Amino acid sequence: MEMARAFETKLSALYKAGKIFGGVFIGRGHEAIAACEGVYLQKGHDVYTPFIREQAGRCAWGDSVLDSAQCYLGSARGIMRGREGNVHWGKPHEGTVATISHLGAAVSVAAGMLMARRMQGKTNFAGVICIGDGTTSVGSTHEACNLIAVEKLPAVIVVTNNQFAYSTPNSQEFACRSLMDRGVGYGMATHECDGTDFLQTLQVMGRAIAAARAGEGPQWVVANTLRMCGHGEHDDAAYIPQELKKQYADRDPLAVARRQVQEQGWLTAEDIATIQAECAEEVQQAMAQAQKEPAPNPATEDWSATSWKPTRY
Partner 1 sequence: MSVTYIDAIHQAMAELLAEDEKVFLYGEDIAGKFGGAFKATKGLAEQFPGRVLNAPIAEDAIMGLAIGAALSGMKPIVEMQFADFGTLAQNQLGNNAAAHYYRTGIPVNVTLRMPCGGTPGGGPYHSQSVEALFAHYPGVHVLCPATVADAYYMLKQAVQIPDPVVFMEHKFLYRWLKADTWVDADPLPIGRARIARPGRHATVVAFSAMVPEALKAADELAANSGYSLEVVDLRSVKPLDTDTILASVARTGRLLVVSEDFPWGGVAAEVIARVASQGFHLLDAPPLRVTSKDTPIPYHPNLWKAHRPHSNHIVEAARYLISL
- By C-beta, is 28 or 58 nearer to partner 1? 58
Tell whether residue 115 is a contact of partner 1 (CB under 8 A). Answer: yes
Tell whether residue 71 is a contact of partner 1 (CB under 8 A). Answer: no
For residues 133 and 164, give the distance between their C-alpha atoms in angstroms, rounded to a whole number: 7
**Among 123, 171, 297, 311, contact with partner 1 (rule: CB under 8 A):** 311
- By C-beta, is 139 or 265 nearer to partner 1? 139
Secondary element (H or E) of residue 219: strand 219-224
Report the site for partner 1 in 74-103 (rule: CB under 8 A): 79-81, 83-84, 88-90, 92-93, 97-98, 100, 102
- By C-beta, is 106 or 131 nearer to partner 1? 106
Tell whether residue 300 is a contact of partner 1 (CB under 8 A). Answer: no
Q: How far is the CB of 10 from partner 1 (least distance, A)?
A: 25
For residues 278 and 283, give the distance between their C-alpha atoms in angstroms, rounded to a whole number: 9
**Among 22, 112, 217, 232, contact with partner 1 (rule: CB under 8 A):** 112
For residues 69 and 36, give the distance between their C-alpha atoms in angstroms, rounded to a whole number: 22
Beta bridge partners of 168: 165
- Cα dihedral 260/266/270/276 (nearest 10): -70
**Among 28, 30, 58, 117, contact with partner 1 (rule: CB under 8 A):** 117
Q: Residue 49: which residues within 8 A CB-CB, separation 6 or more? A: 96, 97, 99, 106, 107, 109, 110, 127, 128, 129, 130
Phi, psi torsion values for 35, nearest 5 degrees: -60, -40
Q: Which residues bind partner 1 (CB under 8 A)?
A: 79-81, 83-84, 88-90, 92-93, 97-98, 100, 102, 105-117, 119-120, 139-140, 143-144, 146-147, 150, 304-313
